[in-house]
């Protein structure tokens, strides 16, 4: 299974001509044809012959100094505009939308020589944490087909977990990369807000949305972020902060680093099995010379409320453009979940309630940012759960609105702060993957990669494959 190897290994084999891009494309489509009718990872799959022709060209034109992802297959969440290739954002309103331009991140990956395989399934507009709230087919977790894969970037995580592709590009608003990475046993990065251009990303909540890589390992993520990150003159929210050569810092010792455990994250609401996995993970970091210290984030308890007031207010504004005149089909095609979010967001912004709800949420957001900054003065990074519970059975979350919202308990708060967060596999409970997130200072992705990489050198959780691959 070629795609089980790392990006670095695949790149080396391609340059030595021991394998070809054609081989990788054939393997990718073979996996999709065998598995995706059970998993529903993709909404739109590119024509196989077209991809193979591109692979043949890549094999002929490959050079010694070609990009590390040159000739590798990849997928992308269907939240990104792709020129002349359908983009739906997981909903039927855009069922026949063919964008006239490409998202900045997609263009960077394509310009680096990677080959698109298809667009991944997602909760419509990013509204959900299970990839059930899609207007296409609900996606299934490859570790247990009766359970959710997480969301909203669930399709991308499935494709990586089952080695349909070596990497994918996701989007994280309140946990949409981290949650499916945790539930499907893959690695994913929510970048610092502004680290990667959002140009061409279909907006959910503009002050929270962030573009990020998803892959098999932390090492792979580091190479991808080197390509994706940087200032974009067409995106005023993208940062001029220097882009590190992240991969060059992998393996650097972490002796003397302090890892903070927020006491509020490990209390009521967290599944004891997940708590045990995370506590066990701290022992590996202690073995590597890190110090574990308790920290406090007192306003964490308000995180979900703040997140949803702001996110839904912004989505009610962003979705106003889909009026069937400028974009898309009839508004009746909005799902019930999306209609609910529009109504709640509009209410929070309406006259007489904006001060009481939206503006107060923004003030509390500032307090949360200050608390994170204070906590990170006492430690280098924060270690936290990704999800409060194991992957739910399909149907449970969408039929329990409160539980659905609480899936963002640990991830949404970090999105409000704009900090980077790395999700890595940390173990299993009841045969299901459990991830942890390592949260850092703004633009501190290098440090997150250092810790995540060394952890993956000490463990093999990220190398374990779902049972569906044995079918």
Distance CA 236, CA 202 (A): 16
**Catalytic residue, candidates 176, 197, 313, 415:** 176
Residues 6+ apart with CB under 8 A from 366: none
Is residue 205 classed as helix, strand or coil in its secondary structure? Answer: coil
At 404 the pLDDT is: 81
**Catalytic residue, candidates 77, 107, 190, 442:** 77
Which residues on adjacent β-strands are paired with residue 85? 82
Distance CA 402, CA 392 (A): 14
pLDDT tens, residue by residue, 397-422: 888 877 888 889 999 999 999 999 99
At 400 the pLDDT is: 84
Q: Average of pLDDT values for 23-50?
A: 98
Lookup: tokens for 57: 């060209």
Distances (CA, A) of 351 to 345, 348, 359: 12, 9, 12
pLDDT confidence bin for 367, thresholds 50/70/90: very high
Global confidence as pTM:
0.97
Residue with tokens 């669930």: 154
Cis bond before residue 130 (omega within 30° of 0): no
**Catalytic residue, candidates 20, 102, 130, 152:** 152
At 471 the pLDDT is: 61
At 395 the pLDDT is: 94
Q: Is 77 a residue of the active site?
A: yes
Distance CA 12, CA 35 (A): 28
Which residues on adjacent β-strands are paired with residue 436? 385, 424
DSSP 355: I
pLDDT tens, residue by residue, 238-273: 999 999 999 999 999 999 999 999 999 999 889 999
Q: Is 130 a residue of the active site?
A: no
Distance CA 234, CA 216 (A): 31
Each residue of 440-468: b (16+ CB within 10 Å) or e?
Answer: bbbbbbbbbbbbbbbbbeebebbeeebeb
Among the four given CATH numbers 3.40.50.720, 3.20.170.30, 3.90.1300.10, 3.40.50.620, the one describing domain 2-470: 3.90.1300.10
- Percentage of the chain with pLDDT > 70? 100
Q: Is 187 a residue of the active site?
A: no
Strands (E), 68-130: 73-77, 115-120
Q: Average of pLDDT values for 305-321?
A: 96
């Amino acid at each position: 299974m070629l795609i089980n190897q790392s990006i670095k290994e695949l790149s080396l084999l391609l340059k030595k001509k021991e394998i070809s891009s054609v081989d990788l494309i054939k393997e990718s489509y073979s996996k999709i044809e065998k598995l995706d009718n059970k998993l529903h990872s993709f909404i739109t799959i590119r024509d196989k012959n077209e991809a193979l022709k591109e692979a043949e060209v890549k094999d002929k034109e490959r050079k010694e100094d070609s990009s590390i992802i040159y000739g590798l297959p990849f997928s992308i969440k269907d939240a990104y505009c792709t020129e002349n290739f359908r983009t739906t954002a997981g909903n039927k309103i855009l069922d026949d939308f063919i964008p006239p331009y490409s998202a900045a991140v997609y263009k960077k990956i394509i310009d680096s020589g990677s080959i698109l395989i298809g667009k991944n399934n997602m909760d419509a507009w990013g509204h959900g944490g299970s990839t059930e709230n899609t207007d296409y087919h609900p996606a299934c977790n490859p570790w247990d087909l009766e359970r959710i894969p997480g969301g909203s970037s669930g399709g991308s995580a499935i494709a990586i977990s089952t080695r349909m592709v070596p990497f994918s590009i996701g989007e994280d608003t309140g946990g949409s990369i981290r949650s499916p990475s945790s539930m499907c046993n893959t690695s994913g990065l929510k970048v610092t807000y502004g680290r990667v251009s959002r140009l061409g990303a279909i907006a959910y909540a503009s002050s929270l949305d962030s573009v990020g890589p998803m892959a098999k390992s932390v090492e792979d993520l580091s190479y991808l972020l080197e390509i994706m990150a940087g200032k974009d003159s067409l995106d005023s929210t993208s940062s001029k902060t220097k882009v590190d050569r992240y991969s060059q810092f992998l393996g650097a010792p972490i002796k003397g680093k302090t890892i903070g455990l927020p006491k509020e994250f490990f209390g009521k609401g967290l599944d004891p099995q997940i708590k045990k996995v995370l506590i066990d993970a701290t022992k590996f970091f202690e073995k590597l010379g890190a110090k574990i210290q308790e920290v406090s984030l007192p306003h964490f308890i308000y995180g979900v409320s703040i997140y949803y007031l702001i996110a839904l207010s912004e989505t009610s504004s962003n979705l106003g453009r889909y009026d069937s005149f400028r974009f898309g089909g009839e508004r009746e095609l909005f799902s019930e979940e999306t209609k609910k979010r529009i109504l709640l967001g509009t209410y929070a912004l309406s006259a007489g309630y904006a001060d009481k709800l939206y503006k107060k949420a923004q003030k509390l957001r500032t307090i949360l940012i200050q608390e994170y900054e204070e906590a990170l003065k006492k430690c280098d990074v924060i270690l936290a759960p990704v999800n409060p519970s194991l992957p739910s059975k399909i149907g449970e979350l969408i039929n329990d609105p409160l539980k659905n919202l609480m899936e963002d308990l640990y991830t949404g708060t970090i999105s409000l702060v704009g900090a980077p967060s790395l999700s890595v596999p940390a173990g299993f409970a009841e045969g299901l993957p459990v991830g942890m997130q390592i949260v850092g200072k703004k633009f501190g992705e290098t440090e997150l990669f250092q810790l995540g990489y060394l952890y993956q050198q000490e463990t093999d959780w990220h190398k374990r494959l779902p049972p569906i691959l044995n079918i």
